[in-house]
Amino acid sequence: MEEKNTYVLQDDENIGAVQIADDVVSMIASLAVHEVEGVEACAENMATELMGKVGIKSAIKGAKVDIFEKRVAVDVFVNIEYGYNIPVTCRKVQEKVKSAIENMTGLEVTDVNVRVAAVKMVKNK
């Protein structure tokens, strides 16, 4: 069983500590990706395979976070729907992920690296 890394968000000797697992921060990033029109996070196994090729070890739902001293660096792997401007859409992903993590955790996001894994064709409905 893999040990989860946890980080203290708040520590108050009167009422206790608040901790968060890095997997939770990864999940927040992944959910934020889904909120951007024209984008979907990679499947976990696809992201893990792609990340392995570039030297990154593990991913949760297409997102990998590194947390050090309340600062977060995020790598997200996404699929972009055909027809969307890739640089503009990826910028929206960066903004959405940064905002979601900072607002929900109070951690500072220093980097959001977006890697486009595929362009998806969308069938007409």
Parallel/antiparallel/unpaired status of strands 108-120 and 71-81: parallel
Say whether 88 sits in a helix, a strand or coil: helix
How many other CB atoms sit within 10 Å of the CB of residue 28? Answer: 24
Closest C-alpha among 119, 91, 93 to residue 30 = 93
Residues of the chain with pLDDT under 50: 1-3, 47, 51, 54-59
Note the pLDDT of residue 89.
96
Q: pLDDT at position 17, please?
A: 86
Q: In the chain, where are the structural domains located?
A: 22-120
Measured in Å, how far apart are the chain's first and last C-alpha atoms?
43
DSSP H or E segment with residue 44: helix 44-53
The reported pLDDT for the residue numbered 40 is 79
Model pTM?
A: 0.79
What is residue 49's predicted lDDT score, i.e. its pLDDT? 53
Number of helices (H), then strands (E), in the chain: 3, 6
CATH number for domain 22-120, candidates 3.30.1330.10, 3.30.43.10, 3.30.1360.180, 3.30.70.1350: 3.30.70.1350
